[in-house]
Structure 1
Amino acid sequence: MRNLTVGDVMTTAVLTARPAMPLKEAARVLAEKHISALPVLDADDHLVGVVSEGDVLLKQGHQIPRRPHWWEGRRRRDTLRRAAGDTVGHVMSAPVETAMADDSLARAARLMTELGVRSLPVVDRHRALVGIVSRADVLSTFLRTDEEIRAEILGEVLVHLLWQDPTGIDVGVHDGVVTMTGVVGERSTAETAERLVRRLDGVVDVVSELRHRVDDGGLAHPR
């Protein structure tokens, strides 16, 4: 059983910016290409930041620049410094959270939710940009059909991983919600089946009504 990773769904043809790019040019690219952010690369093509629609709006919202006062909070002083610049390097957000190609989609989704961002740059171990993953990319995993999910449960989970006879188990999938009924050998097998199915891409919820012939204590039973 293989879950999709960031590398499976990310976009590899990524528009980028350089720190010296004029802010107006970055704004034009964002508007014309209908994207929310541009990864910013240094001379060695390593990721150094991200310039987003929000960063451009920061400049627009401070049309009368002024020097920050020492008594203002750190975040406020940083905002004023960034707003005073006219290049991507001045206003970009840095450092920036990233994903790696072998990260799970669950980790990418959690990061985007926690950070309140629409996308994450994807880098290799040298911080070189290899792609970008968006909320839409992650959500695409939920577009798997019920038939595809059911086929993976029967063939991959039950037969290949758990060595179960699928003819004794009824599996139904409706709008991503999986229902399993039938009889398996051990209680631990029933619990394992539910856990594995919950991890499948596209599964929204699992209703397991699997019964067992032998109570081996379940997954918590010491072996």
Structure 2
Amino acid sequence: MTSRPFTVADVMTRKVVAVEPGAEFKEIVTAMERWKVTALPVVEGEGRVVGVVSEADLLLKEEFHDHRLGLVEQLRNLEATAKAGSRRAKDLMTRPAVTIGPDASLPRAARTMASHRVKRLPVVDDQGVIQGIVSRSDLLKVFLRPDEDLAAEVRRDVVEPLFPLSGARVAVRVDGGVVTLSGEVRDTALVPVATRLARAVEGVVDVRCELTGRTKPQGS
């Protein structure tokens, strides 16, 4: 039976530090410093995410602190100057928040972070209520899986289904997340498939394939 792929729910942090729309500037900064985070979800009601306030949003106040803008420059930087003059989360936050669902795959979460240039994503349910938060470091947790777990999964989900007759002659070794497949198999056409499937196992860093075709006995 093929293992279920890891999802955001498997790696996300369930204890979330968030602020309400009315949170004051200093309150937000204090929360970031206390919990060592660079962004906070802004939630209202029963926990519905309405935005995210980040260090970048807050630093606009410092950026424009001693800099008086002309009218043309103000018009070009309406959002930035508005945030620089604000002091509550509802006016400082970036909206709509970039979020992700708990059932999303880890590659999808990574692509979303990269495309939006953010370091973390609020995880929300179908109603937009916060369930957790997932960060770049959370996505790397799968690479902490023990080598023996990876070896067992590769054998169960890759070797045994692909090589039901010769699988017993295939050795699966994992060292530091690097899988080595060695031994003899009947059907060498499946070797590239085995390599690809082994590399797709969550937590595998790389695959070294040393599989060869079964040597026929002399005289056969």
Under a length normalisation based on structure 2, what TM-score does the superposition of the two structures give? 0.85
For 1:125, the equivalent position in structure 2 comes to 126
Aligned to 2:140, the other structure's residue is in SS state helix
Shift of 1:3: 2.1
Shift of 1:147: 2.1
Q: Which runs of 5+ in 2 are unaligned?
A: 215-220
For 1:208, the equivalent position in structure 2 comes to 209
Query: Sequence identity of aligned pairs in percent?
Result: 38
Identify which of 16, 32, 35 aligns with 1:33.
35
In the aligned structure 1, how far is the partner of 2:40 from the partner of 2:149?
A: 35
User: Does the CA-based 8 Å contact 2:143-2:203 persist in structure 1?
Assistant: yes
Shift of 1:212: 4.8
In the aligned structure 2, how far is the partner of 1:198 from the partner of 1:162?
A: 15
1:11-160 aligned within 5 A: 11-64=13-66, 69-70=71-72, 74=76, 76-159=77-160
Shift of 1:28: 0.6
User: Does the CA-based 8 Å contact 1:179-1:209 persist in structure 2?
Assistant: yes
Q: Which runs of 5+ in 1 are unaligned?
A: 214-223
Shift of 1:12: 1.5
For 2:195, the equivalent position in structure 1 comes to 194
In the aligned structure 2, how far is the partner of 1:71 from the partner of 1:64?
A: 15
User: Does the CA-based 8 Å contact 1:69-1:77 persist in structure 2?
Assistant: no
Aligned-partner residue type, residue 83 of structure 2:
R
For 2:162, the equivalent position in structure 1 comes to 162
Aligned to 2:149, the other structure's residue is in SS state helix
| CA RMSD across the alignment | 2.3
Under a length normalisation based on structure 1, what TM-score does the superposition of the two structures give? 0.84
Aligned to 1:171, the other structure's residue is in SS state strand
Aligned-partner residue type, residue 38 of structure 1:
L
For 1:221, the equivalent position in structure 2 comes to none
